[in-house]
Amino acid sequence: MKIQCDCGQFQAEISHFPKNSAGRLACYCDDCQKYLKKLGREDLLDPYGGTEVIPVYPCDIKFLSGRENLKCNRLSEKGLNRWSTKCCNSPIANVKPFFPWVGVIHSAYTRKDPQFLENLGPIRSRIMGAYAHGRPPFKIPQKMDLNAIVSVLPFILKGKFLKKYKDSPFFESDGKTPIVDVTIL
C-alpha cells in the first residue's frame, strides 16, 4: 500500500497492509482539531470535527520519496509528534517514540484512490466525543469506551510484544529523536 501527500512529492509504502492494521478509527479530540486548524486543513475534519486515522506499525513504513519535505509539529513541548509536508501542507501521520502506532491520516491513503477507505469497511471506533461538534448521528463516547479499547488493544499488544515500534522512519536510530527539527505550534 502506498500513501502520499496531496501533491505527490512525499510518498511512502506500507507493508503488511491492511493485515497489520486496527482498521479505520476516528478521533474527535480538541488536539486533533487544533492541529488541523493550525495547518489550515480543517477541510480534513468530518462534519462533527473528527479526524480519521488508519494505524499501522512504525516498522512497516518505508519512505519512498520526499523525506526532505517532511516537518514534525507538536502542539506542546511534550505533545504528540504530528507529521505533515512542507510542499503542500498535507498532514501525514501522528506518532510517539517507542510506541507501536503510526496513525496515518485518512487523506494520505486516498490520493490515488478516493474510494479506498470504503474498501476497508466502516469506522470501527470513535473516541473523544466530548469535543465533537453538533449532534452526530452515531455514538461517540465522551473519552474512550470498551469498544475503542477492544478495537486497538490487540494491535498495540502485538506491536509491543514484537517490538514493531523499532526502525521507525520518523525517528533517528535512538528511536526517540525526530528525523527533522520539531516545531511547537
How confident is the model over 98-134, as pLDDT tens digits?
A: 999 999 999 998 767 777 888 888 999 999 999 999 9
Which one, of 28, 24, 31, lies nearest residue 49 by Cα?
28
Round to whole Å and give the CA distance between 1 and 56.
Answer: 11
- Catalogue all structural domains in the chain, each as residue range(s) with its CATH number: 2-184 (2.170.150.70)
Q: Which residue has the higher pLDDT, 169 or 120?
A: 169
- Grid coordinates in use for 56? 499501522
Round to whole Å and give the CA distance between 45 and 36.
Answer: 8
How confident is the model over 51-89, as pLDDT tens digits?
A: 999 999 999 999 999 999 999 999 999 999 999 999 999
* The model's pTM: 0.93
CB half-sphere exposure, 129, CA atoms < 13 A? 14
pLDDT of residue 133: 96
Round to whole Å and give the CA distance between 34 and 44.
Answer: 12
